[in-house]
């Protein structure tokens, strides 16, 4: 019995030390649920933004810094948790900051992701108009449905180079 417990603890420790690079939707859902405490549709929206930023910046996970601006209508900065999962940026390492100032009017969130080496950045804006749709996904879809909806939604965000 002790051997089983020891092996289980080693497996859990290995999983926790492994990079947060998930390779399947189920992995993202499990990771998001474990870290955030649930898997509402704001989490995969953030994952999508984070993955897109890594691709655009040609950056590795942990190679970026993130500044998140919450909108007036946003219930919480849940999108930031999704971005954090995808990029492996973290408040504890000083690479994720929730800005004290709000996103501009009409925006649910603004996320600025910068490559830590080059300083190059991208700015993502999610319009307030998405609030009703995302809330509907949370009410009507299971976690896999939320993941798929957020990952495939046309024009979920606008992206431009960060100044």
Q: What is the pTM of this model?
A: 0.85
State the pLDDT at residue 1.
42
Tokens of 95: 């690479």
For domain 21-161, the question of CATH label 3.40.50.720 is answered with no
What is the spatial distance between Cα 163 and Cα 158, in angstroms, rounded to a whole number? 15
End-to-end CA distance of the chain: 58
| CA geometry: angle 144, 149, 155, nearest 5 deg | 155
- Mean pLDDT by 10-residue block, N- to C-terminus, for the chain (163 residues)? 36 40 85 94 97 97 97 85 96 95 96 98 97 96 98 97 95
Residue 7: what pLDDT?
32
User: Minimal CA–CA distance to 116: which of 93, 92, 86?
Assistant: 93
Copy the structure tokens of residue 138.
Answer: 């949370």
Domain boundaries, the chain: 21-161
């Amino acid at each position: 019995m002790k051997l089983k417990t020891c092996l289980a603890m080693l497996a859990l420790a290995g999983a926790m030390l492994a990079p947060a690079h998930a390779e399947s939707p189920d992995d993202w859902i499990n990771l998001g649920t474990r870290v955030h405490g649930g898997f509402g549709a704001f989490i995969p929206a953030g994952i999508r933004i984070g993955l897109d930023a890594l691709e655009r910046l040609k950056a590795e996970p942990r190679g970026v810094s993130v500044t998140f601006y919450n909108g007036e209508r946003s219930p919480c900065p849940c999108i930031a948790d999704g971005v954090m999962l995808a990029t492996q940026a973290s408040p504890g390492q000083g690479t994720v900051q929730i800005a004290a100032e709000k996103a501009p009017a009409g925006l649910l969130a603004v996320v600025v992701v910068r490559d830590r080496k080059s300083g190059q950045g991208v700015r993502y804006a999610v319009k307030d108009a998405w609030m009703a749709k995302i809330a509907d996904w949370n009410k009507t879809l299971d976690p896999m449905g939320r993941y798929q909806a957020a990952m495939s939604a046309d024009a979920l965000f606008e992206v431009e180079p960060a100044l």
